[in-house]
A = this chain, B = another copy of it.
Amino acid sequence: MKPVNLLDKLNKFSSHWDPHVVADYNDNDVMVVKFSGEFPFHLHEETDDFFFVLQGEFTMDIETESHTVKEGELFIVPRGVKHRPRAIEECHVLLIEPKGTPNTGDEETAADKPRI
């Protein structure tokens, strides 16, 4: 039980779209991730998707609308809603997902989510 400094954790990797687990909250993984470029459109049938911008900004595309999500802003995608995050410049994000959730919405293409 100790404080987790998210900037220290972010300094441990440089890969994009590669969430790293930094803590556990109930049955959820608490993760940090670096966005750069465009992620595929996907959805999660069973869970909402939690994004909080730590640094920079990204765009969340949701079917017919797009939202810019800036540093200090939270964006929650309700379960079942198709979405695509994308970032022109690197953006650092805090993510929360129930353990076992594939980040792409598909087990076959999902990232490993290493713990750091």
Contact = CB atoms under 8 A, between A and B. Distances in A.
Contacts of A25: 48, 50, 76, 96
How many copies the complex holds: the figure is 2
A7 interface: yes
A14 interface: no
Q: Is the interface of A mostly helix, strand, loop or mixed?
A: strand
Interface in A53-76: 54, 62, 65, 67-70, 72-76
Interface in A3-46: 3-7, 22-26, 30
A24 B94 contact: no
Given A1-B62, A2-B67, A48 B26 contact: yes
Given A1-B78, A7-B72, 5 more contacts: A3-B73, A4-B74, A4-B76, A26-B47, A96-B96
Contacts of A1: 62, 65, 67, 75-78, 81
A104 to B, nearest CB: 19
9 contacts: A1-B65, A1-B81, A3-B69, A3-B73, A3-B74, A4-B74, A5-B72, A26-B48, A54-B72
